[in-house]
Amino acid sequence: MKAYPQTVHFVGLNAPIGEEYDIASLAVEGQIPADVDGVFFRAVPDPAFPPKFDDDNLLSHDGMISAVRLQSGAASLSMRYVKTARYLAEKEAGRARFGRYRNPFTDDADVQGVDRTVANTTPVWHAGRLLMTKEDGRPYRVDPQSLETLGSYDFGGALKSQTVTAHVRVDPVTGELFFFGYEADGLASPKIAYMIADKDGNLVHEHWFDAPYCAMMHDFAITENYALFPIYPTTCDLDRLKQGGDHWIHDMEKDSWLGVMPRYGDAAQVRWFKGPKGVSCYHMMGAFEDGQGRINFDQCLSNVNAFPFIREASGIHMQPWEVQGALTRWTVDPKGAATEVTETVIGPPGDFPVIPAARQGRPYDHGWMLTMNPDMKGPPVAGGPVGGMFNMLIRLDFKGGPMQALPLDPGMSFNEPVHVPASAPGHDGWLVTIVDTQVGPNDFTHACWIINAGDIGAGPVAKIAIPRRLRPQVHGWWVPSAQLAAAA
Ligand SMILES: [Fe+2]
């Protein structure tokens, strides 16, 4: 078999593993809180075969679904590939047949037309269904107990969009699932599809509208009355794809935009507010309306696209330290005369923001995110698609209280935590996350940590060693045992 390229996307923490397994019992150090009873589903990209092209990147790698089960004080772990059409086609041939990241013109002739999504970004739980998502295609439904793949999911044939985001929003009051797809009718298209599924998972709303230009739309946000669609200038061009080129080029001269649509609105009701040129963002912490009807939209904004491979393709040559960002609030008045966003920095640089699910679309007074410890001596652990892993967890208090921090020792890194609410009133709940520790040039150990979300500086209340090598996770989702039982 062809060897894996020795690039950052395939070495060290990013070295392919490709193992499906079940570990029935994991040793628990400390005590798993009674609130933490459920399954931590994780999406982990891991290529089943060496890529066709050596410039392949981690975002293209086959999706694996990982289940860390924390139930009745015990812990177990399972890992499975999502059996996408692409995975099955490559498995059949025993080699890679799909080409460059999001460019089907580079695929083998005999797999043209085969669904090429890898379902590697977020496990989404809604209405008793578990979906593995990636923004370039439709999700795959997975059995939450066995982790077996049940097939591509189109909401019972109702979905028209060819794509579904990996970042959905669930309203905590109505239970509705809000989501969208971009490039909704094909490659490089500016068409956005905006969808709502009711609390039972029925697709009840799908409206299409045009973005100012075709852009990477990784995440979005809702408020009580609006859906918010950010556009940052990472753009696609069909002719470039046909020539075998990159899907994404970041354009520092193009404006960013925030599209504001009434929650249950349509294309005619979208209003676009202009933002700064050249900026980029992958994840929003949240959004909400203030007492005056203004919309606050909080995002991990950076001055350029954070992915080095996209900057290289764009001819943007910046040192890692020149890539700067901050938790940034854009404020707009949907009924006002101003046509541009007002920008305010509200937190440090970082990513993987988390708020309690109960505050989705509502004002929130605290949140958590990952960042780099500014006092850390030496480089972060190399890994993930950006090249460096985060080494500090923070809790931000928007009421003016002090920031809490949990810095890791050198050689350690955090993956994105999930939040588990507490049953006790006034308790912040818990964060569950995987922590990597580098123990040799190419050796890593991993553990699941459970942290008191209101006192993160105290460190984990429980640690569960994972006796396997793990690749970096993208996103996760916490599903309580009671919901799994009800769905079964
Ligand atoms: Fe994401």
Instruction: Give per-10-residue mean pLDDT for the chain (488 aa).
Output: 92 97 98 98 98 96 98 96 98 98 98 98 98 98 98 98 98 98 98 98 98 98 98 98 98 98 96 98 98 97 96 94 96 97 98 98 98 90 92 97 97 98 97 97 96 98 98 98 96
Q: Residue 240 CB: number of other CB atoms within 10 A?
A: 18
Which H or E element spans position 481?
A: helix 481-487
CA of 425 to the centre of ligand 1 (A): 30
> How far is Cα 366 from Cα 429, in angstroms, rounded to an integer?
12
Q: Output the pLDDT for position 320.
A: 83
Report the DSSP pairing between strands 430-440 and 412-414: antiparallel
Residue 268's contacts (CB-CB under 8 Å, 6 or more residues apart) are none
Angle at 272 between CA 269 and CA 330, to 5 degrees: 120
> How far is Cα 272 from Cα 276, in angstroms, rounded to an integer?
13
Is the pTM here over 0.95, yes or no?
yes
CA of 351 to the centre of ligand 1 (A): 9
Q: Output the pLDDT for position 467.
A: 97
CA of 285 to the centre of ligand 1 (A): 11
CA of 350 to the centre of ligand 1 (A): 13
Cβ pair 217, 179 in contact under 8 A: no
> How far is Cα 198 from Cα 137, in angstroms, rounded to an integer?
21
> How far is Cα 355 from Cα 290, in angstroms, rounded to an integer?
17
Q: Output the pLDDT for position 378.
A: 81
Residue 467's contacts (CB-CB under 8 Å, 6 or more residues apart) are 23, 26
Reported in sequence order, the residue ranges of 145-190 that DSSP labels E, i.e. its strands, are 149-152, 169-170, 177-182
Overall size of the chain counted in residues = 488
CA of 282 to the centre of ligand 1 (A): 6
CA of 417 to the centre of ligand 1 (A): 13
CA of 165 to the centre of ligand 1 (A): 9
CA of 27 to the centre of ligand 1 (A): 30
Exposure pattern of 176-209 as b/e (b: 16+ CB <10 Å)? bbbbbbbbbeebbbbbbbbbbbeeebebeebbbb
> How far is Cα 16 from Cα 47, in angstroms, rounded to an integer?
6
> How far is Cα 315 from Cα 58, in angstroms, rounded to an integer?
20
> Long-range contacts made by residues 442-446, C-beta under 8 angstroms, separation at least 24?
442/11, 442/12, 442/15, 444/12, 444/13, 444/469, 444/470, 446/470
> How far is Cα 202 from Cα 22, in angstroms, rounded to an integer?
33
Give the pair of three-digit tokens for residue 429: 């709940």
**Rounded to 5, what percent of the chain is helix, strand, coil?**
10, 40, 50
Exposure pattern of 282-292 as b/e (b: 16+ CB <10 Å)? bbbbbbbbeee
CA of 134 to the centre of ligand 1 (A): 9
Reported in sequence order, the residue ranges of 148-225 that DSSP labels E, i.e. its strands, are 149-152, 169-170, 177-182, 191-197, 203-210, 221-222
CA of 179 to the centre of ligand 1 (A): 13
Report the DSSP pairing between strands 249-250 and 122-126: unpaired
CA of 338 to the centre of ligand 1 (A): 30
CA of 443 to the centre of ligand 1 (A): 26
C-alpha distances (whole Å) from 390 to each of 215, 352, 385, 440, 473 are 26, 10, 12, 19, 12
